Chains A and B, each alone.
Chain A
Amino acid sequence: DTAVSQTPKYLVTQMGNDKSIKCEQNLGHDTMYWYKQDSKKFLKIMFSYNNKELIINETVPNRFSPKSPDKAHLNLHINSLELGDSAVYFCASSHRYNEQFFGPGTRLTVL
């Protein structure tokens, strides 16, 4: 059973499109995250979210928005995709701010 899953694994799309990446965790965790791993391989946190608060990294453009239909899901919506959005996006979850479990990543390529 996969603890943290993401779909799709690969996403290729044109500039200007709107896309979503889904994330689900079956660990019963209360906190979920989205990270971006850029071309330099740095892991940058984009959002952390639990049922009480959303913490947004101030450097994240407002074209990116997390949506959580329930505690087990945190989807990432991206509007008006740009070339610079090409990266690998990782979802993660944890109990409070303890050890995080990561998904396998979604490689987004914007053409």
Chain B
Amino acid sequence: GAVVSQHPSWVICKSGTSVKIECRSLDFQATTMFWYRQFPKQSLMLMATSNEGSKATYEQGVEKDKFLINHASLTLSTLTVTSAHPEDSSFYICSARVPPGRADEQFFGPGTRLTVL
């Protein structure tokens, strides 16, 4: 149980275009999902916390207008990178927090590698 999927697994786009990444909890309802960014050989950097039916909470230094997050249902959160530029190229990982009782455990998606040309 507690499987999280991401789509697409990789994407290449031209500079200036927008890219949407989907994160789905397949076998449970996730009221809270998280979006991380990971640069090569580095740790995960939390970008934002996504709550179903409300606005996302962004970490300091993350541009809200550039990284649009929508959590419209209990099983789907999306991250849209708007007007992407080469410096946005990275590995984006989402996670979902399981319902209460699992001690803040998060289940992670497989990640999406974004390359902006």
Indicate, yes or no, whether A interacts with B.
no
Residue numbers of B with Cβ under 8 A of A are none
Residue numbers of A with Cβ under 8 A of B are none
